[in-house]
Amino acid sequence: MSASLSQLIEEARSTGTLSGLPKSNFIDGQWVDAESGARMETYDPGTGKAYADFAASGAAEVDRAIAAAEREQYGRWRDVTPQERGAILRRAAQLVEENAERLAVVETLDSGKSIGEAQGDVAGTARVINYYAGLADKIHGETINSRRSHLTYTLREPLGVTAHIIPWNYPTSTLARGIAPALAAGCTVVAKPAETTPLTALMLADLFQKAGLPDGVLNVVTGTGSEAGAPLVEDKRIRHITFTGSVRTGVQVGQVAMRNVASTILELGGKSPFIALADCDMDRAVDDAVWAIYSNAGQICSAGSRLVIDRAIHEEFVARVVEKARGITVGHGLGGADVGAINNPMQLEKVHGFVERARERGRTVLCGGETATDAENGGGWFYRPTLIDNVPSDDEVIQDEIFGPVLSVQVVDGIEEAITAANCTDFGLMSCVYTQDVSKALRVARDLDTGQVSVNDYWANGWDVPFGGTKLSGIGREKGTEGLEGYLQTKGVSIRIDG
């Protein structure tokens, strides 16, 4: 009988760790340490203390993992029927659900997020695996009837061995939303989780093996970006790279991929506008604006990090957001606070640096703007929900992704200015508009240069809706049926049939 959520939390809080955590790479169905013997520690951001260690891998382990994936790609995995691929994914989703509490507690310990958010992430992980399980046996080409003399058709084939580079903010579901369509499409996988959140990827790989996935089809190599990530994306045997992370690293990865003419899906963050027009339902908009930015302590690429607000309602709206922001409790993810920790101290410093510089430029910080400690733990990397009011469009807190709980406000007069302000950055991931006027909603949805737009409900899109960015926010789409397309290539076949 597996331990209950409260037992797991009790163990984690009393001992500072959990028993039975994975410790090694998962390569070719085996737990494999780094040849060098090197290890790294992972820290609980809620206490700031190391709580587990894992393999610090490099080129040798990456090579082994790619060799296994390549062998399976052109071997056993190719012969597994689409129905069986779907069945394996469904069993994996079920195992995720059965192990949801443990996965969620480990995700909280690794990432710092609140247990409620971690549970949401794990539930989403099961959902997205199930979603692609259902698509595995619905992959088909077409016949092209342009010439009577030929039978012409297309085959939809897997791209080959795929690499998945995962960030630390949603370690479990970001991995799942890439590997589930890859496996459904018939690709094999080598994944590298972020060095601050390596453990749930290893746990997922174990569950996929238990679900019946052949050894070598899904491999997880842990280590740093430069030691383990770089050799993975540089390898010629990798035919596709799914990368989620910073623009800087994403551009580097994209360049490397192009050297090998490997395809990419790059999801590189955002600076997403939350537009509230003068006629919006203020209660709903205020609530949603708060959780669009402060969920997961703002460490979400699609966080609503800019409030684009009509002057007519600016004062009241901002006052209400500030009041709610001040009421948000911040603390250890397993301690019941609304919002957990910042994932790592460098990130905490980066977030605070943005706010400090804004203050130096004379910007008005209406709440937050300071680190916080969890008194019960006596440590941890926390930041208070922060709002910087009335900022001009060219300011760095409008233009740059802060990736923390910092909301920057742009005041506008009317819908035209709102659209211009919303489109003023180099990013184009998420956006929303709150209005009661359907024409205004449709107009704004048409004119926002972002991959997603939602109306009157910020986190409206599910796993069935394509997700990705315009401009520097990325290329390619994950989720939805398009998410599967990203792992397939078309082969055209023409057969002369007139003798």
| Site residues for ligand ADP per CB under 6 A | 165-167, 192, 194-195, 224-226, 229-230, 233, 245-246, 249, 252-253
Q: Choose between 167 and 186: whose C-beta lies nearer to ligand ADP.
A: 167
Residue 126's identity, in one-letter code, is: A
Residue 250 CB, nearest approach to ligand ADP (Å): 6
Distance CA 310, CA 285 (A): 13
Cβ-closest residue to ligand ADP?
225
**Is there a contact between 308 and 377 (Cβ–Cβ < 8 Å)?**
no
Residue 323 CB, nearest approach to ligand ADP (Å): 31
Q: Choose between 186 and 198: whose C-beta lies nearer to ligand ADP.
A: 198
Per-residue DSSP letter, 4? P
Q: Write down the catalytic residue from 107, 267, 401, 478.
A: 267
Distance CA 263, CA 254 (A): 9
Q: Choose between 253 and 484: whose C-beta lies nearer to ligand ADP.
A: 253
Residues in the chain: 499
Residue 215 CB, nearest approach to ligand ADP (Å): 24
Residue 55 CB, nearest approach to ligand ADP (Å): 14
3-class DSSP assignment, residue 368? coil
Q: Choose between 166 and 328: whose C-beta lies nearer to ligand ADP.
A: 166
**Is there a contact between 496 and 149 (Cβ–Cβ < 8 Å)?**
yes
For 147, residues 6+ apart whose C-beta sits below 8 A from its C-beta are none
Residue 259's identity, in one-letter code, is: R
Q: Choose between 186 and 270: whose C-beta lies nearer to ligand ADP.
A: 270
Residue 224 CB, nearest approach to ligand ADP (Å): 6
**Is there a contact between 397 and 388 (Cβ–Cβ < 8 Å)?**
yes
Q: Write down the catalytic residue from 187, 280, 301, 367.
A: 301
DSSP class per residue in 389-423: ES--TTSHHHHS---SSEEEEEEESHHHHHHHHHT
Q: Choose between 256 and 337: whose C-beta lies nearer to ligand ADP.
A: 256
The strand ranges marked E within 173-322 are 188-192, 218-220, 238-244, 263-267, 273-276, 306-310
Q: Choose between 160 and 404: whose C-beta lies nearer to ligand ADP.
A: 404
Q: Choose between 211 and 230: whose C-beta lies nearer to ligand ADP.
A: 230
Distance CA 247, CA 270 (A): 9
301 is catalytic: yes
Distance CA 353, CA 364 (A): 15
Angle subtended at Cα 477 by Cα 474 and Cα 478, rounded to the nearest 5 degrees: 115
Residue 373 CB, nearest approach to ligand ADP (Å): 23
Bridge partner residues of 388 (DSSP): 365, 408
Q: Of 296, 201, 301, 220, which Cα lies nearest the Cα of 28?
A: 220
Q: Choose between 133 and 230: whose C-beta lies nearer to ligand ADP.
A: 230
3-class DSSP assignment, residue 93? helix
Distance CA 159, CA 313 (A): 51
114-131 CB burial, b ≥16 within 10 A, e <16: bbbbbbbbbbbbbbbbbb
Classify 20 in phi/psi space as left (phi over 0), alpha (psi -120 to 50) or beta: left
267 is catalytic: yes
Per-residue DSSP letter, 210? H
For residue 136, what are its two tokens? 């595995």
Q: Of 289, 448, 435, 377, which Cα lies nearest the Cα of 44?
A: 377
Residue 241 CB, nearest approach to ligand ADP (Å): 9
Catalytic residues: 267, 301
